[in-house]
Each structure stands twice: as C-alpha cells, then as structure tokens.
Amino acid sequence: MKRRVAILISGRGSNMTALLEAARAQDFPAEIVVVISNRADAAGLAKARSSGVPTVTIESKPLGKDRAGFEAKLQSVLDEHRVELICLGGFMRLFTAEFVQRWYGRMLNIHPSLLPSFPGLDPHGQALRAGVKISGATVHFVIPETDAGPIVMQGAVAVRDDDTAETLAARVLEIEHRIYPDALRLVAGGGTRLEHGICKTDAYGSPDDSLISPEVI
C-alpha cells in the first residue's frame, strides 16, 4: 500500500517537481495526493495541476500571525485527503510546536546545507564565508527548532574557490533533487526508525564512497 503524501510549497516547487517525477514509478512506495500552498501565486501550483495532482491554496496573509488558525485549515485539508506523510518544498511559513509534534516522524524538510552546519537563511553564503570545502543538502524530519530535526539523508558537493552563493546553490539544488525522492522512498518504504532523536536507516552507502575536496593528485 503506497503512503499518501502532501507536498507544501510557497513558490516554484522545484523539489516538488522532483518528488512528483519519482512518484510516477510503479515501485515508488508513496503517492502524491495533494499539493498545498499558502500563496495563490505560487508557480508550483500550475506544475502540480499539469501533473494531474490536486492543489489547494490556504492563503496565510489574511491570517497574519495566527498560526493556529492557519494550521486548523491545513489539518482539515490533510484529513480530507487522508495524508500520512508531509514533504515541505520551500514552504515559507513556520509551524507551532503543537502542529510539529502531531506530525513528528511524518513530516520531512530539505535544507541546502550539511546540517547541523549553516541552518537558517543564506546557507550558501554562510558556507562560503566559513571557507568549507564541502557543502550539500540535508533531508530531515521536522521538529519545532528550525533546521534541527533528525537527519534522514545528506548529499554533498565540492566547494570551488571561485564559487559564489549562486553557483554553489545551483550545484546543491541538483543534489536536492536527487536525495529528496530517495529520502521519501526510504521513509515511505519503512526503511527508517527514530531512536532517541536520531534517524536510523536500513540503507548504507558503499564503504569506499568518499568525497575529498580539494583532491591532491
């Protein structure tokens, strides 16, 4: 039985598109049953509709800081579509601790850094200013603290000396599109478990998989 998934977006939904494409596979253990946005002008809504996925808009602006009011409407939509898992894809609204706890272990987010390094805004700028040689993206379960939940999967890229925040972001985005579908496959397929705030998985990389940067030849 495929797990029923909602994707929450606020903008173009590039990670949403990667998830939708992955979910078309016959053996993918999840199906995207609804895409929800807090903005009617989110470009990703049209992409979702063109893929045959129902969309719902819950405008957050009229509700202002009333997070509980927004979440009550959101939960109603999630219940209506019998959603089991949530994937955040550039969803630019914070949740209350109560909502996050309700969905603990069932709500995923992706962040463009190797958490716990560089959480929050401008992760690529943070990485460049710190002078790291490797950066990447992280799929994690959502907890009340921002970008701090149990890590499901990470992917890395080398940081180049001539990188700007924009060029680094472009390469990291490619990694995001690779690991988010794989992370959802792992979670929806029952390949993860949470133990004392750490995500354990049944998947392992090859023991000689490595990324060293800069590489000395």
Calpha distance 48→180 (Å, rounded): 17
Handedness of CA 30, 186, 105, 202 (dihedral sign): positive
Active-site residue flag, 177: no
In this structure, what token pair is assigned to residue 211? 């990324």
Catalytic residue (one of 111, 124, 140, 177): 111
Calpha distance 82→99 (Å, rounded): 16
Calpha distance 169→156 (Å, rounded): 12
Calpha distance 14→54 (Å, rounded): 17
Calpha distance 68→53 (Å, rounded): 26
Three-state DSSP state, 117: coil
Calpha distance 117→128 (Å, rounded): 12
Q: Which positions are annotated as active-site residues?
A: 111
